[in-house]
Chain A
Amino acid sequence: MGKVIVVASGKGGVGKTTSTAALGAALARGGQRVVVVDFDVGLRNLDLVMGAERRVVFDLTDVVQGTAKLSEALLTDERLDTLYLLPASRTRGKEALTEDGVARAISELRERFDWVICDSPAGIERGAMLAMRFADEAIIVVNPEISSVRDSSRILGLVDTRPLKVETGGRLDRHLLITRFDPVRVAHREMLSVDDVREVLPIPLLGIIPESEEVLRASNLGAPITVCGRESTVSRAYVDAARRIKGDWIEMTVPSKDKGRLTRWLGGRAA
């Protein structure tokens, strides 16, 4: 039985889709069977980041409504054969996604994959609630920026109360992924530090992803950063984060002003 992870942030543009693709690809590179599911119905961007936009025929809504089989809607990644994508619909609204239908789709995906990574839409509306509804774990993506931290704090409150697992007496494993971290600005005290963010979001740290042009480059090329920018610090940070998801203990370091230098030990997955 696979694990279902929701990637959420509340605020848009913080890196949910980039992170979903990067972590999915990193896990698949390690031989895991992974599906990334786009819940951003009406907008749909995960297929672009994955470079699969021209192959989309059926989508999550088709599967939920029963107009297409899961096997028809799933797209295989062209580079990694254990990585799959279930795209969102661009034409139909989120009303078309029923909770029962999503439950069925997720449970079928859970049977077929080791990891089901759900890319949540921004906001706290229906789409975001459905994306977290059947999750076992949550990755809260946050930028070291005041509005993002506030919104992630709100999302964290929802992740602690809304999922089915919580309603049935369980608890989600929650991970914090800090993205667009700029060590130079932090050093100049022009950006919230990792400690500042963690003070508000006191959950285990999954990774710190530095701000980098490589992210835009990967998006331009239509490949997850962990596939096309393998040697970059961003890619390495995502690969480490993916290994922590699997339960490996990897030393956590805060990116420093001197590029690539490791400054401080922060503790691993259980921090």
Chain B
Amino acid sequence: MSCFIPRTPIGSAPVARARLQSLLEYDRSLVNHADLLSVLREEIFALIGRHAGIDANKVQFMVVRGSTASTLTVDIEVPFRVAAAPNAFALPASAGG
């Protein structure tokens, strides 16, 4: 039985073991965060919704997995043009500065 990947002196089992460990870590983090993500989604949706009518189909939640942390990207289409309300989302910042 030949394999196209050259055999290393240490064997492939340690590679399998390392891959398995990181895989399981990832599986577990998904299980733990599945609820958190849906809670975040609902709360962020409700918060924006209080100020602007938004369409649930035009909200995108995305998690990009990094080695030490993950990035949550929320993309929400708001139903008004920025030109019409230039400071809609800048109010807290201008109030503070």
Contacts and interface: CB of A to CB of B under 8 A. Distances in A.
A153 interface: yes
Nearest to B20: A146
A270 B16 CA distance: 28
Interface string A246-264: 0000000000000000000
B13 A189 contact: yes
Contacts of A157: 31
Contacts of A154: 27
Nearest to B12: A190
Chain B interface mostly: helix
A192 interface: yes
B11 interface: yes
Contact of B13 (A150, A153, A196): A196
Residue among A157, A185, A196 with the highest chain B CB neighbour number at 10 A = A196
Contact of A189 (B11, B27, B31): B11
B27 A153 contact: yes
Interface in A90-148: 145-146
Given A189-B11, A190-B11, A146 B16 contact: yes
Interface in A5-26: none
Which of A145, A189, A190 has most B Cβ within 10 Å?
A189
Interface in A140-196: 145-146, 149-150, 153-154, 157, 185-186, 188-193, 196
Residue of B11, B14, B19 with most chain A CB atoms under a 10 A cut-off: B11
A200 interface: yes
B31 to A, nearest CB: 8
Contact of A146 (B10, B23, B31): B23
A115 to B, nearest CB: 32
Interface residues of B, number: 14
Contact of B10 (A149, A189, A200): A189
Contacts of A188: 11
Interface in A40-61: none
Interface string B13-38: 11011011101100100010000000
Contacts of A189: 10-14
Contacts of B13: 185-186, 189-193, 196
A185 B27 CA distance: 27
A142 to B, nearest CB: 12
Given A146-B19, A192-B17, A200 B24 contact: yes
B69 to A, nearest CB: 24
Contacts of A192: 13, 16-17, 20
Interface of A: 145-146, 149-150, 153-154, 157, 185-186, 188-193, 196, 200
8 contacts: A145-B16, A146-B23, A150-B23, A153-B24, A185-B13, A188-B11, A190-B11, A196-B13
Given A188-B11, A190-B11, 15 more contacts: A145-B16, A146-B16, A146-B19, A146-B20, A150-B24, A150-B27, A186-B13, A189-B12, A189-B14, A190-B12, A192-B13, A192-B17, A196-B17, A200-B21, A200-B24
